[in-house]
Structure 1
Amino acid sequence: MRKAVLVTGASSGVGLALCKRLLEEDHELHLCLACRNRSKAEAVREALLASRPLAEVSIVQVDVSDLQSVFRASRELKQRFQRLDYVYLNAGIMPNPQLNIKALFSGLFSRKVIHMFSTAEGLLTQEDQITADGLQEVFETNVFGHFILIQELAPLLCHSDSPSQLIWTSSRNARKSNFCLEDIQHSRGQEPYSSSKYAVDLLSVAVNRNFNSRVWLFHQKPESLNPLTKYLSATTGFGSNYVMTQKMDLDEDTAEKFYQNLLELEKHVRATIQKRNHQS
């Protein structure tokens, strides 16, 4: 039976390179490209199949900065798949920094001018747009949209004999966790088990533009990995790639609080969308 792999943000950049490498590792995968731009995804699909004709490559259109799009894509995926073996939450954005002219001129005539030019502190600003869901675009794209996606895909991810592997790579972090049924039960108000472990995934913010660690994680057993550890790509001076580990700078209490906040936000957003759909 083919392994099924879902990759968000798969039509360009690291996501596209990751798809190519995954097909090199297993050329009979069923690879599902979760992309915002369907025409770009179609072109990528054709190119992937041209090089790996034994693979099965499908597309689901989803914009993780739009929860209506996330819900539609989730329904489509649940109709297509009985299970997903691996999910790479790769899609992410970063706003372009802008020079703050007002801060520049005021800083020129202050005692902090040397500090300002040596650190650029206060000179650059980033404007984060607000989405149709009323959330900051970066937060919804990199974190909350993916959070809702995996909540919706719970039936495809939770299997007592072999849980799916959730690989959170948004914000350029590559690590892997065991996506357990107990985590979903906790999110539905049932007996808690390990929600802190799951929330740690959502707090990962390591900058990592390489994907070697992501491919390495594809071959690891979840029980061998530490949920409080980042798995990062690195290269030796001689050009050899390897995976390094780094302990996350957070505690489980903070992770638990963040997880609870996400659950509260989920309830609020779902109620708002339901009310909006009812009115229309």
Structure 2
Amino acid sequence: MTTTLITGANKGLGYETARRLIAAGHTVYLGARSTERGEAAAAALGARFVRLDVTDDASVAAAVAVVEKDGGLDVLVNNAGIEVRSPQGAVIGAAELTADVLREVFETNVFGLVRVTHAFLPLLECSAAPVVVNVSSGLASLARGGQGYPGAAYPASKTAVNMLTVQFANAFPAMRINAVEPGYTATDLNGHAGTQTVEQGAEIIVRMARLGPDGPTGGYFDAAGPLPW
């Protein structure tokens, strides 16, 4: 039985990924900051709830203890992510960007990913086929030049996620560690303005979460294949 942890999984892409992986036979830990929403989501899916705030060391350590006690971990999906907007609801461009805004976005999207990955590495190293999936974005691609998106902090955070993916993959060659671009998916992150459904967006996350030991590592993929860095 494959055991999987998904961060930020009480809604959106994380929830749909959990649903699909449970259907594929995974035991899924649904990580969420809110106990109430997380427990409700886990009950609806048949997942195991674990309270997990990726910005808090104690919360992450407690989650590791729960998963370790129950038997270990094979797959980690770093899905939790945020975008910060102005009081008027607009994305914050480079001209308005402050260090505080950048720090807030990086705290979840980058530092949180590192905090969780680092904490769960000992459990993953005990797995026969460890996998890490980092949910990135097409906006992270330097080759694509941000695709005209006016926001600054979110794309920068996901570009950092891509580099960290490569470095983790280099450091742990026995693991399959990849970054994925779900596409412009209608979720709370973008006020449900996305043009894809969560079912479509979760496709690449689920696919990469189910990689075998001979699968790619250190890559950046969307549903159609590899993406330019």
Band the TM-score falls in, shorter-chain normalisation = 0.5 to 0.7
Contact 1:78/1:153 (<8 A) preserved: no
Secondary structure of 1:31's aligned partner: strand
Q: What count of residue pairs does the alignment treat as equivalent?
A: 185
**Equivalent position amino acid for 1:164 in 2:** P
Q: Distance in 2 between matches of 1:245 and 1:194?
A: 18
Question: Does residue 1:92 correspond to 2:81, yes or no?
Answer: yes
Question: Does residue 1:15 correspond to 2:4, yes or no?
Answer: no
Q: Distance in 1 between matches of 2:226 and 2:116?
A: 27
From 129, 150, 159, give the equivalent of 2:117.
Answer: 150
Match in the other structure for 2:69: 79
Larger radius of gyration: 1
Structure 2 unaligned spans of 5+: 141-157, 186-200
From 125, 131, 154, give the equivalent of 2:96.
Answer: 125
Q: Distance in 2 between matches of 1:41 and 1:30?
A: 16
Contact 2:3/2:73 (<8 A) preserved: yes
Question: Considering only aligned residues, what root-mean-square deviation do their CA atoms show, in Å?
Answer: 3.7
CA 1:121 to 1:194, structure 2 compared with 1: closer, same or farther past 3 Å?
closer
Contact 2:182/2:202 (<8 A) preserved: no
Query: Once the two structures are aligned, what percentage of the paired residues are identical?
Result: 25
CA 1:42 to 1:121, structure 2 compared with 1: closer, same or farther past 3 Å?
closer
Deviations 1:185-226 (Å, cap 9, x if unpaired)? xxxxxxxx933979xx69x68573411111222333243314
TM-score, reference length from structure 1: 0.55
Match in the other structure for 1:195: 171
Secondary structure of 2:221's aligned partner: strand
Secondary structure of 1:153's aligned partner: helix
CA 1:226 to 1:153, structure 2 compared with 1: closer, same or farther past 3 Å?
closer
Match in the other structure for 1:246: 227
Match in the other structure for 2:59: 69
Structure 1 unaligned spans of 5+: 50-56, 100-119, 184-192, 234-242, 249-280
Match in the other structure for 1:214: 205
> Which structure's relative contact order is higher, taking Cα pairs within 8 Å and 6+ residues apart?
2
State the Cα distance separating 1:75 from its structure 2 match.
Answer: 2.8
Secondary structure of 1:94's aligned partner: coil
**Which structure 1 residue ranges, 4+ long, deviate > 4 Å from structure 2?**
120-124, 126-130, 170-176, 204-207
